[in-house]
Chains A and B, each alone.
Chain A
């Protein structure tokens, strides 16, 4: 069974802190790994990673994939209260029935 595990499940930090969110996976036919941010409604796309070792960056957020360790991290530097959300990791499965398998998410709370 395809599985995506995120840790920690929740995290509370102060503004300005740096956080690292983890995602590990066990899947049959890996295609890609994606990170999403979910506030009150549907997830919004952050990153898609397909190659190991290449960091993707967008402002204060960055992410990297390690295919050997079957994992990825999402870093957020200089956190702000607006970063408070659930961060979801998903793995794209390739094959006859393409789909995304989601982890349970990490709930990040950034306090002022």
Chain B
């Protein structure tokens, strides 16, 4: 079945630094990639949707200058958390979608970000 990988699986960084998370679809072409954030004991909150070669669409309340998303190819999307602060500590999950239909999403294993 469709496999999505994320790298790194966990990262610890100092406040003020930037962190890049990669999301790759390994055996399919993801026309759309979704980025979610999950706080402890909370559900997945959609941050943004990106289509290959175009700008990401951010959900209300998500700062696009802080969470930079690049979807350069049909198999790779990156999320960069710029000038990270402790409140950005969370579990970030990406998913690859096929055919522009949101209900067919294959989730990556997630990246645990801890900002000190």
Contacts and interface: CB of A to CB of B under 8 A. Distances in A.
Interface string B81-114: 0000000000001010100111101011110000
Nearest to A4: B43
Contacts of A69: none
Nearest to A96: B57
B44 A34 contact: no
B93 A42 contact: yes
Interface extent on B, as a size class?
20 to 34
A98 B42 contact: no
A31 B103 contact: yes
Given A88-B43, A97-B49, A101-B46, A32 B57 contact: no
B34 interface: yes
A48 B103 contact: yes
Interface residues of A, number: 22
Contact of B43 (A44, A48, A94, A102): A102
A100 interface: yes
B89 to A, nearest CB: 17
A39 to B, nearest CB: 11
Given A42-B108, A102-B44, A104-B42, A34 B103 contact: yes
Contacts of B95: 42
A90 B36 CA distance: 13
B107 A100 contact: no
A90 B105 CA distance: 12
Interface of B: 32, 34, 42-46, 49, 57, 93, 95, 97, 100-103, 105, 107-110
Given A31-B102, A31-B103, A42-B107, 7 more contacts: A42-B109, A92-B101, A92-B102, A93-B102, A98-B49, A100-B46, A104-B42
Interface of A: 31-32, 34, 41-44, 48, 88, 90, 92-94, 97-105
